[in-house]
Each structure stands twice: as structure tokens, then as C-alpha cells.
């Protein structure tokens, strides 16, 4: 999946101009319960402005007139350490960027480098949760022979009324043991686990599904 499918388009965002006052920005941030807002000019992303940085600057400069301070333009408070990403970026690549960088959102641009929206952590991890079936019941199986094992597991689950929503393989780094994590719906997870154990599989863990 590409991030263009889950990003928030610019026409649904509150976007600041560099000439807006810090006071206006602060009011918008507080009224909408945001932590920060993007700043753009002529469809180009400039950076972002955070409530935290406004206050940090005020106290750092030892200002005495807060009202006068808030009349200063947004351009004096912009952070520009957030790099733009292309709209065709894969969601897993975006997840890696979030993991490596302490950012609240990623600005998204098109092929002309025009600012077209943002990707938030919430929207990204929401779709990852859905794609990987993280709310579905899970069985974890230990195996030292992966070849052909997956096909056997899938066959047992299918024959016993289960539907697989996700399969993941993890290397335990212990004596060549692999952990196969299978998320299943459609049948009692404990019934499936028992059938797998009856066929000689080592069921390490059973996790119940998450109910909203």
C-alpha cells in the first residue's frame, strides 16, 4: 500500500503561513488540541510550528511582554527538520522513517514537490493494525524445519474451520528455531491449537483476540 491512500490531504488540514502571527498559530493549536501545525507557502512545505517551541523560545529569550512576543511571525519559530516524502512511498517504508526519527507527522509531496498532505502516526499504525490483523486471535508455533511446515499448518487450520489473516516468521536466534505467528479467525483459537498439537506442532503461545 502507498501512503497516498491513507494520508490526510492538504484541503483537510489547518496550514499556517510564514507571515501568520505566533499568536494566531498558538490559538489554532490550542483550540484544536494539536501539538503542532504544518507551515507552507505557495504549495511548498516550509516546516512545522509546535506549541512547545513557541513557549521554549519565549522563556529562553527571557521575554517580559507575552502579547508583544505573540505578534512575531511564524517564520521565526519554524522547525524544518522534517523531510518530505513522496506520495508513492510504501507504508512500511514510512513506518521505518517514523521509527528512526522523532517526528509527529511526515509532510507528503507530489512529483512536482508540491505539498499535498501529511501522514500521521495514527493513520499509519491504524492501517498496519488492520493489514496485519493485530486484533485477531494468534497462535505462535516453534519449529526447526520451516520447509513444508507452513503448508501443513495452513492445511490443518483450513480443515478445522479457521481462516488465516496474517502469518509472520521470526528467527529466535536459538539453535535454528523459528517462530511462526499465525493470526486466525472463524474458529475457536484453542480448538485450532489443539489440532496443531495433535499433529505434532509445538504451540508456544495462544493469544485471544482484542475486542473493541
In this prediction, residue 79 carries a pLDDT of 77
Give every CB contact of residue 53 below 8 A, 6+ residues apart in sequence.
77, 79
**For residues 39 and 143, is the Cβ–Cβ distance under 8 A?**
no
The per-residue pLDDT for range 143-165, each reduced to its tens digit, is 886 678 889 999 999 999 999 98
Task: Please report the domains of the chain, with CATH numbers, ordered by start residue.
Answer: 3-130 (3.10.580.10), 138-203 (3.30.70.260)
Flag the least confident range among 4-13, 58-67, 167-176.
Answer: 167-176
pTM: 0.70
Band (pLDDT 50/70/90 cuts) for residue 108 is: very high
Name the average pLDDT for the chain: 89
Written as nine digits, the cell of 140 is 505462535
What does the alpha-carbon distance between residue 170 and residue 186 come to, in Å, rounded to a whole number?
Answer: 24
The owner of cell 516546516 is 47
In this prediction, residue 212 carries a pLDDT of 61
Give every CB contact of residue 16 below 8 A, 6+ residues apart in sequence.
24, 25, 28, 37, 38, 39, 40, 49, 74
Amino acid at each position: 500500500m502507498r501512503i497516498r491512500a491513507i494520508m490526510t490531504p492538504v484541503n483537510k488540514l489547518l496550514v499556517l503561513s510564514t507571515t501568520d502571527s505566533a499568536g494566531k498559530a498558538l490559538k489554532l493549536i490550542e483550540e484544536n488540541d494539536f501539538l503542532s501545525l504544518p507551515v507552507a507557502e505557495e504549495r511548498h512545505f516550509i516546516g512545522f510550528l509546535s506549541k512547545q517551541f513557541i513557549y521554549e523560545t519565549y522563556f529562553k529569550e527571557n521575554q517580559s511582554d507575552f502579547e508583544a512576543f505573540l505578534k512575531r511571525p511564524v517564520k521565526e519559530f519554524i522547525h524544518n527538520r522534517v523531510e518530505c516524502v513522496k506520495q508513492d512511498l510504501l507504508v512500511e517504508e514510512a513506518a521505518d522513517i517514523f521509527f528512526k526519527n522523532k517526528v509527529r507527522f511526515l509532510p507528503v509531496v507530489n512529483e512536482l514537490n508540491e505539498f499535498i498532505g501529511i501522514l500521521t502516526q495514527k493513520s499509519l499504525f491504524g492501517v498496519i493494525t488492520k493489514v496485519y490483523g493485530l486484533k485477531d486471535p494468534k497462535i505462535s508455533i516453534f519449529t526447526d524445519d520451516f520447509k513444508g511446515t507452513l503448508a501443513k499448518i495452513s492445511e490443518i487450520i483450513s480443515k478445522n474451520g479457521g481462516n488465516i489473516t496474517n502469518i509472520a516468521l521470526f528467527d529466535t536466534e536459538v539453535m535454528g528455531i523459528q517462530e511462526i505467528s499465525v493470526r486466525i479467525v472463524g474458529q475457536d483459537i484453542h480448538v485450532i491449537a489443539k489440532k496443531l498439537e495433535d499433529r505434532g506442532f509445538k504451540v508456544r503461545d495462544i493469544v485471544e483476540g482484542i475486542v473493541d
